Amino acid sequence: QVRLVESGGGLVQAGGSLRLSCAASGSILSINVMGWYRQAPGKQRELVATITSGFSTNYADSAQGRFTISRGNAKNTVVLQMNSLKPEDTSVYYCYLRMFGMDYWGQGTQVTVSS
């Protein structure tokens, strides 16, 4: 089965930066989309950024200009560089993968931004 492992979360001051990484392993044949979603307490899970197999990217309005999604150096990895972090970015961030019409999720990594 497909497994997604996130890393890089933590506690930072407002204005700081974090880099999240996600590595996919298992039965990986052809990835359509990888990316990041987040879910804060009491809120719906929302898209942060995605990247397709053709390297097209999509960002939430709140992430545009501050976050950058890219492929990692290792195969089947994705990186989210988060700059100028705000307290409202505080959330659990989930790695996402879509393959053959099926969705896969990581267990999440906590990002906390203090003011």
How would you classify the pairing of strands 109-114 and 10-13? parallel
pLDDT tens for 13-57 read 999 999 999 999 999 988 899 999 999 999 999 999 999 999 999
Dist. CA 106–CA 37, nearest whole Å: 10
CA 10: distance to chain centroid? 14
Q: For the segment 76-112, what is each residue's pLDDT rounded down to a tens digit?
A: 999 999 999 999 999 999 999 999 999 999 999 999 9
Measured CA to CA, the distance from residue 105 to residue 35 in angstroms comes to: 10
